[in-house]
Chain A
């Protein structure tokens, strides 16, 4: 992957070329080996006036293999990895690139705000002024009302994820923050403040999936396998859901992925979850059945999901500190979990011989969710 951050002067194709070539080199493969490309992108038609990005991005790393752009808001490359895993497991391809790219900072804040909002219902949510932070603020207040918790609980999540990113040179924000910094930051949409929100980032990520047979035959170093994949859906607009404090799309995706991998939540050693806002990490951990409903709000505060806790969450820094180039996030999570399991991530020292990891990627207010289970290959 590229470093996530502000690259307003770099083109999308240049960002993806860097990520794709690095992934191929890491896998010991060349562009000619690639059978198919699944590429996640959210608002490239708005930010770069560029449609038809599939072949463009493939060409950027030297391939003319069949390519698809997949859009699922913030879950775009979670969907890409799911499709990539599917064709490899079905025996339709041996070497597949899954990745994503987003440029956001070439637009001004108003442009980025307007672009991010298109993940919501244009008539019933965007029209009355629901921004992306406002949608999660509506969920956060509903959560507090139903289960309790407060801004300080959320602040501990931001502090944790910033701390995790300090050694991650690909992270957008490598700054230590305190609980007071978070609770005293300017409000974006109450109860969420500036430090409850992920930054607006540019960047690209790519991972290479190969069949077991191909990896074996070509003597590739493939230490981690995707063993479970799941996807869930929900009504698009928050107003049409039974609860604003729960995300059943993630629950459905998790159940499918756990069953697919034949694991249970207790088996998970490390997780990267979709913390576009601090409250989103809470909603994810509960929907993943890693916590009971109403219990994950205090997990970071209690030190359970911190680097030295029993279940480290978002060791990469998460979206919160690593950054959130929307279409690149899902595959960046997969890359982070794979490196954490392989022992090659700068935060891998937080884990003691981990064997099972999980990545959860969500779109909009979680009308789309993907969950992938990754395991160390014996």
Chain B
């Protein structure tokens, strides 16, 4: 087993930035996101890291007109949930016109930053 106790939210973002995004998986192939000590689906405690597929597909999104305060200079912005297969992620869609977003579109992972805090972001491949 791989020790995944060093898998934090920060290390998850580091891995995206390094071009090697990962997710956690249990012996029953349930995907989950760090930090985790137990599989939320089946309670297996033997978790290991696996490479995350490079692209995901938008399953829902919203164009946010009244922004979170940290993004007051960036509104409107789009947040979306994208399915990457073993896991599903919420991210801010960057570099895309809000009129040009649709369910089913392909995105890849990147990392954004606002007020010194990093976050999951998506961009077009």
Contact = CB atoms under 8 A, between A and B. Distances in A.
Interface of A: 109-111, 113-114, 117, 123-131, 133-134, 137-139, 141-142, 145, 186-192, 235, 237-240, 244
Main secondary structure of the interface of A (DSSP, over half): helix
Interface residues of B, number: 36
Interface in B82-124: 87-92, 103, 112, 114, 117-121
B96 to A, nearest CB: 14
A133 B66 contact: yes
Nearest to A140: B62
A186 B65 contact: yes
Contact of B67 (A131, A138, A187, A238): A131
Contacts of B63: 187, 189-190
A131 to B, nearest CB: 5
Given A124-B33, A127-B120, A129-B77, A188 B66 contact: yes
Interface in B46-81: 59-72, 77, 79-81
A126 B69 CA distance: 11
Considering the complex of A and B, which 8 residue pairs feature the smallest CB-CB distances, nearest first?
Answer: A137-B62, A127-B119, A142-B60, A128-B92, A110-B69, A128-B119, A189-B62, A187-B65
Contacts of B60: 138-139, 141-142, 145, 244
A110 B73 CA distance: 13
Interface of B: 9, 32-33, 40, 59-72, 77, 79-81, 87-92, 103, 112, 114, 117-121
A187 B64 CA distance: 8
A98 B110 CA distance: 46
Main secondary structure of the interface of B (DSSP, over half): strand
A125 B90 CA distance: 6
Given A186-B65, A189-B62, A189-B65, A129 B119 contact: yes
Contacts of A114: 68-69
A131 B81 contact: no
Given A110-B69, A113-B66, A186-B65, A128 B59 contact: no
Contacts of A145: 60, 103
A130 B79 contact: yes
Contacts of B119: 127-129
A123 B91 CA distance: 11
B90 A124 contact: yes
Contact of A244 (B40, B59, B89): B59
Given A128-B90, A129-B119, A244-B59, A188 B68 contact: no
Nearest to B117: A127
Nearest to B113: A127
Nearest to A191: B62
A238 B82 CA distance: 11
Given A124-B89, A128-B92, A238-B81, A190 B62 contact: yes
B40 A240 contact: yes
A189 B33 CA distance: 26
B79 A128 contact: yes
Nearest to A122: B9
Contacts of B80: 138
A129 B33 contact: no
Contacts of B59: 142, 244
Contacts of A110: 69, 72
Name the residue in A113, A123, A142, A188 with the highest tally of chain B Cβ atoms < 10 Å from its Cβ.
A123
Nearest to B121: A128
Given A124-B89, A128-B91, A244 B68 contact: no
A134 B120 contact: no
B121 A188 contact: no
Contacts of B92: 128-129
27 contacts: A110-B72, A111-B69, A113-B66, A113-B69, A124-B9, A125-B90, A127-B117, A127-B118, A127-B120, A129-B68, A129-B114, A131-B64, A131-B67, A134-B62, A134-B64, A134-B79, A137-B62, A187-B63, A188-B66, A189-B63, A189-B64, A190-B63, A190-B65, A192-B62, A239-B88, A239-B90, A240-B33
A142 B70 CA distance: 26
Contacts of A238: 81, 90
B65 A128 contact: no
Contacts of A139: 60
A129 B72 contact: no
A191 B64 CA distance: 10
